[in-house]
Amino acid sequence: MDRTASPLGPSDLVTVIGGSGFLGRYIVQRIAETGARVRVAVRHVPAANFLKPLGALGQVSVVRADVGMGAGLAAAFEGATAGVNLVGILDERGRQRFDAVQARGAKLAAEAAAAAGVRAYVQMSAIGADAASPVAYARTKAEGEAAVLAALPFATVLRPSLVVGPEDQFLNRFAAMAVMSPVLPVISGDSKFQPVYVLDVAAATLAALESGAARGRTYALGGPDVMSFRAILAMINRETQRGRMLLALPDVAAKLMGRVGDVLPFVPMTSDQFAMLQKDNVVQLGEPGLEALGVTPTPMASFVPAMLARYRPSGRFAKASSLA
């Protein structure tokens, strides 16, 4: 196996599948900073045009592709020297099914990348991916990993814990709830997470593309803070300065909420998500992580107070709380 480092540069074209999401924009920017050209493949091109200014004029382009259908993937990888697949879903809505997107879609993207002759590839997965899991989300993540490695044995798999940052759909969702609701629901409050800063995941992705030592390896990405779900909500409560009551929901009520969430999009949890909450979402002892990729994990205290300041009664002019 080739372990030679291969830095990206102006002669490279990196195809990023699903690069218009929360994580994707930071990965696109980090890759563009190397001077490489970036081709972002998405289902809705107009909604992704905001990525173009992240590079020099003409450096970042946006094309249409659909991993679930396999449409446009060959064209998206034509001439590419490296690839990144970020496509994943948290719940099933409409035509977006776990198997189609996270298993079959990952397979089709990797096969298109292999046909194009890419020399480096990153598959974004998640901590908890497990081929034997009864939870469709976790099972299809693992199936996608296996399919990618079958097509591209040198691919790097990244499994982040909860990815957090300015546009995330976790801290922001509960902070917005703290503004509107007198209570914050605690579901499986003792379950542990290891939130990882979005910029660290972006840096890890670039490192994986450029590092020969990362070829064919799997990394679990977690930040320096291991926190229970209850502790995360308490942090949000403190940083938004709302003083909301943390209300522990019995499992029976949480399961019912999940079943309702399976059919109604405005309910904040599905059955799969409830099942995933029953297990800790942390890096296991001995698993290579951010440090193995040369990335120093960023503590929550360095970015969460500023990030959640807008949810305080007096906005960013309110005195910040301490996460210590």
Dihedrals phi, psi of 321, to nearest 5 degrees: -85, 165
Domain boundaries, the chain: 13-163+198-221
Give the model confidence (pLDDT) of 219-255 as tens digits: 999 999 999 999 999 999 999 999 999 999 888 887 8
Q: Which of 6, 62, 50, 52 is nearest to 32 (CA)?
A: 52
Q: Let me know if domain 13-163+198-221 sits in CATH 3.40.50.720.
A: yes
Select, from the ranges 28-37, 134-143, 241-250, the one with the highest average predicted confidence (pLDDT).
28-37
Instruction: Please say whether the beta carbons of 13 and 79 come within 8 A.
Output: yes
pLDDT category of residue 5 using cuts at 50, 70 and 90:
low
Instruction: Please say whether the beta carbons of 174 and 236 come within 8 A.
Output: yes
Mean pLDDT is lowest, of 13-17, 181-185, 314-318, for 314-318
Reading phi first (left if > 0) and then psi (alpha if -120 to 50, else beta), residue 6 is in: beta
Q: Please state, in angstroms and rounded to a whole number, the distance separating the CA atoms of residues 213 and 203.
A: 16
Structure-model confidence comparison of residues 322 and 137, the more confident one? 137
Give the model confidence (pLDDT) of 291-313 as tens digits: 999 999 999 999 999 999 999 99
Q: What is the pLDDT of residue 319?
A: 63
Q: Which of 252, 238, 225 is nearest to 174 (CA)?
A: 238
Q: What is the pLDDT of residue 276?
A: 77
Mean pLDDT is lowest, of 69-73, 83-87, 209-213, 258-262, for 258-262
Give the model confidence (pLDDT) of 248-284 as tens digits: 988 888 788 877 777 767 666 777 777 778 889 999 9
Instruction: Please say whether the beta carbons of 123 and 111 come within 8 A.
Output: no
For residue 61, give the 3-state DSSP assignment: strand
pLDDT category of residue 324 using cuts at 50, 70 and 90:
very low
